[in-house]
Structure 1
Amino acid sequence: MKKFGSFLLSFALVLGIISPSASAATNFSDVNKSTSFYSEIQFLVDAEIISGYYDGTFKPQKNVTRGEAAIMIGRMMELDGTKRATKFKDVPASHSGSGYIASAVSEKVISGYPDGTFRPNQQISRGDMAIILANAFDLNFRPHYTFSDVTSRMKAYGPVLALAAESITTGYANGTFKPHDAVTRGQFSAFLARGLSPLYKQKAALAGGYAQNMTKQYTYAEVDGDVVHTYKYIDGTINGMPLGFMWEAKRTKDGKVVYYMQFENRDSLASGLPYSDISIDLKYPATLHKSWKSYGNSNDYETITKVNTTVTTPYKTFTNAIEVKGSSGYKSYYVPNVGQVKTIDPSGKTVSQLKSIK
């Protein structure tokens, strides 16, 4: 997120001590705690990224226009929103979003059309939204899975997958993304909030999944000392490529750090190092004897050898773990809504086990 890394970093510090429930209620007459994405809307209102209409409403069910998207993205990125002339014949200086539109175009976050128009009142689709957000957040990673209705021939193909890799979207239960559907103001707020905060990424996570909770800090007791795993925004690069939100595994003994990512959808759980290969850790549904390849081109297999098994760790004893045994002989144990809790090598020695969650 090179365009506003310091902004994200300051948000991360604030979110570390303020929970969504601590915020005051919105003043919108049509938004209350029963409204879908209420906390996401409140979060963005508090950050002065979104606002309502002159009549005191927010209209969460209203479809987002290109002009509104540019304004919200512009505020999030702290771009210059001063009204001014633009290069688009349908966006005069008097337009409420002229400054943000001009700035967002200059930052290559959004673009106009070949006929010289911007079409600020045109509704954006989910595919267009993915392109805008991927540009704004400078997203580059892709998960191991795709959506059945998003093909490589589509302009939104890469951006949609980038949003999935960033846990900004999980798509629909039937494996689709619906790139041509419109986006409501409430939905757009949710996507923005997920891009900015692990709190909202976790809200959209797979219920009953086996990925680590992005709002928790995990400490594992390992052979070479304790390792603390924290999901956070990493303001850095690897070989010139940005990192962004991901897991940091830091060994307390010598400060050695490794960054990694987890990807989970309704089909599987996977993990990998940034800009590297991705391994399939689990295939869903996680049933006894299910087997799969760890890597696409390898001969390594993983198999679920036990379900609802008991595993003891320094943190606690779990009775609902699943045991996964690899062709290399290693055994790993996963617990729903917790993640991996223990790993044992082929000789039976424990090499990693959960020590604490906070």
Structure 2
Amino acid sequence: MIEDTMTLLSLLGRIMRYFLLRPETLFLLCISLALWSYFFHTDEVKTIVKSSRDAVKMVKGKVAEIMQNDRLGGLDVLEAEFSKTWEFKSHNVAVYSIQGRRDHMEDRFEVLTDLANKTHPSIFGIFDGHGGETAAEYVKSRLPEALKQHLQDYEKDKENSVLSYQSILEQQILSIDREMLEKLTVSYDEAGTTCLIALLSDKDLTVANVGDSRGVLCDKDGNAIPLSHDHKPYQLKERKRIKRAGGFYQFQWAPGGSGILAMSRSLGDYPLKNLNVVIPDPDILTFDLDKLQPEFMILASDGLWDAFSNEEAVRFIKERLDEPHFGARAIVLQSFYRGCPDNITVMVVKSGIVARTEEQ
């Protein structure tokens, strides 16, 4: 009931901000005050009317300036007020990340490519923290490097190895989770994080997902191909697993009805891990790049997906691939403009295949 009330209040607050802060609303207020002044001739109201007119002129001027400089409608001004704005650009990869309306920045990302040695895949990761930034920072600083080392070892003796990209991903994700839980439990740090990792080689794309960060690919026909599936407690498979573990979900929000998680799988979160309600097991999918011939892929924290569907995001980025950040900056700021309350991190990898793009 509390969550429903908070959601309703949040919605009402967003509606009020949307209508009350619009220039048209201020203009109508000025007209109303002007009529009141005309009929009642109060000096105080006349002063208010004059100030309101000046305010409307200022707002209209600022809106005109913003619309001229940025087609996103004023988001450059808002961007300057973000406590943390991170960006990355290298060859065919671009990332844009903002703190947005949250008090803290808990998103992290990593890109590991090796132009000199293309025998092992490039690594791309999105980590959306919660309950603090400890878990996301830990996974970001440890997991990609561990994967890189194991992938290099695997490539040296690939023909005789019983491993695969999928097994290496699963082993390292679970290993990092165990390692992190030992440290966080000692310090009573309840932080957790999602984990979305993509390995791109010449012919294959392998994606491992834990939580509700999401990947989407644009194929040769412009279709949006899901690269991962969100782990939500209301999904049938997850709901059954949570029930078997002795937990339950409430208001389609958090396992155990605790209200602290909107996902059923994560790294970290030691109190819920001890109850086996939240698990770290990744879902791993592999895609044939020769068959899909992708134009680009999007990896993003759930801040983006609160504002965009897979299809909308693909269309939006497709129209902006020639921009400096391949549309990553534009879609992040548009998500903020649409009212997203969360941290927002978006990574766009152009042309789908690292090796091919870097050779162009």
TM-score range, shorter chain: under 0.3
TM-score of the two chains, using structure 1 as the length reference: 0.25
Q: Which has the higher contact order (CA 8 A, sep 6+)?
A: 2
Asked which structure has the greater CA Rg, the reply is: 2
Structure richer in helix, relative to its length:
2
